[in-house]
């Protein structure tokens, strides 16, 4: 007899045939990519960036300098929208909060034993709560991939729900680590579990140990978000992360979100790209000359 977790996964009608997913993605990109290659789209995409620094060498001084560049962007390019958020390790939330002067840029923190999700559930909850106390508006956690692949869906969902509770008013992004899940069937199952555990965003990847975002994974995730919205009325965001570095790559994800989820999702409340290199590449294409601002 299947449990409520398996039943929720089995009830989903999202396609899980990998070849069919690849064909659907290819058709969308072939039909619609060209129409989105324009300055307005590039400006929008810049405003969806979670500008990220997640290095072993990060320090209070380096993170403060990183944040100052976002402040400076507002002054030097008042005609352009700023990035959506600054994404850092949880111990730097207070640094960003102290230095950030721009009102429309959020503070995002990775948490919960990022990037492996391999630590005690109590530590994950504490880390999330401390990041929120430090000023985080958004929390990015990694779904427990090991437990998921073992079929411990209850354990996976319990961890997400506990961290969601620890977020209080902050929004929770759940990273599926699609490069480790590999198949459309696994990505669908993980998406369903995360959605019904209270995720405010589904995010593709950490960009660390495994392959990063793929359009095929994004397609399955967006279809799950759409199905969940139709069933519950709850809008959940989508974030592509891990290797999205060029303007062309960003436009491809924009195209997919636009065609699968629709215009309602074309706002940085519901669409993000996690990146460190993309910002300068988009800026270069917006301004028409090579720009290395960040």
Catalytic residues: 140, 203, 239
Phi-psi category of residue 210: left, alpha or beta, with phi > 0 → left and psi -120 to 50 → alpha: beta
Encoded tokens for 68: 């100052």
Q: On the CB side of 183, how many CA atoms lie within 13 Å of its CA?
A: 7
Strands (E) across the chain are located at 49-52, 85-88, 106-111, 138-142, 171-175, 201-203, 237-241, 271-275
CB atoms under 10 Å from CB of 216, counted, come to 20
Nearest to 111 by CA among 47, 64, 54: 54
Q: By C-alpha distance, which of 174, 264, 252 is closest to 218?
A: 252
Closest Cα partner for 239 from 188, 192, 190, 177? Answer: 177
Residues 6+ apart with CB under 8 A from 293: 69, 73, 76, 279, 280, 283
Q: 67-88 in b/e burial notation, b at 16+ Cβ within 10 A? A: beebeebbeebeebbbbbbbbb
């Amino acid at each position: 007899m299947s449990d409520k977790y398996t039943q929720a996964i089995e009830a989903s009608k999202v396609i899980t045939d990998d070849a069919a997913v690849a064909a659907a993605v290819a058709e969308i990109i072939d039909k619609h990519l060209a129409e989105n290659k324009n300055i307005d789209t590039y400006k929008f995409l810049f405003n969806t960036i979670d500008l990220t620094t997640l290095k072993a060498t990060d320090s209070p001084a380096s993170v403060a300098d990183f944040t100052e560049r976002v402040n400076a962007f507002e002054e030097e390019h008042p005609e352009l929208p700023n990035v959506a958020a600054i994404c850092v390790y949880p111990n730097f939330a207070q640094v960003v909060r102290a230095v950030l002067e721009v009102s429309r840029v959020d503070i995002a923190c990775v948490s919960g034993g990022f990037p492996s999700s391999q630590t005690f559930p109590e530590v994950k909850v504490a880390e999330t709560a401390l990041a929120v106390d430090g000023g985080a508006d958004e929390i990015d956690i990694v779904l427990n991939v090991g437990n998921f692949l073992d079929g411990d869906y209850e354990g996976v969902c319990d961890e997400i729900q506990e961290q969601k509770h620890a977020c209080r008013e902050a929004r929770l992004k759940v990273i599926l680590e699609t490069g480790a899940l590999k198949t459309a069937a696994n990505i669908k199952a993980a998406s369903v579990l995360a959605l019904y555990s209270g995720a405010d965003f589904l995010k593709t990847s950490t960009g660390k140990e495994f392959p990063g975002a793929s359009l095929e994974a994004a397609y399955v995730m967006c279809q799950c978000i759409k199905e969940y919205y139709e069933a519950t009325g709850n809008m959940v965001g989508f974030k592509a992360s891990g290797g999205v570095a060029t303007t062309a790559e960003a436009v491809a994800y924009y195209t997919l979100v636009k065609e699968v989820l629709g215009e309602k999702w074309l706002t940085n409340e519901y669409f993000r790209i996690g990146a460190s290199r993309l910002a300068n590449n988009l800026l270069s294409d917006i301004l028409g000359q090579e720009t290395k601002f960040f």
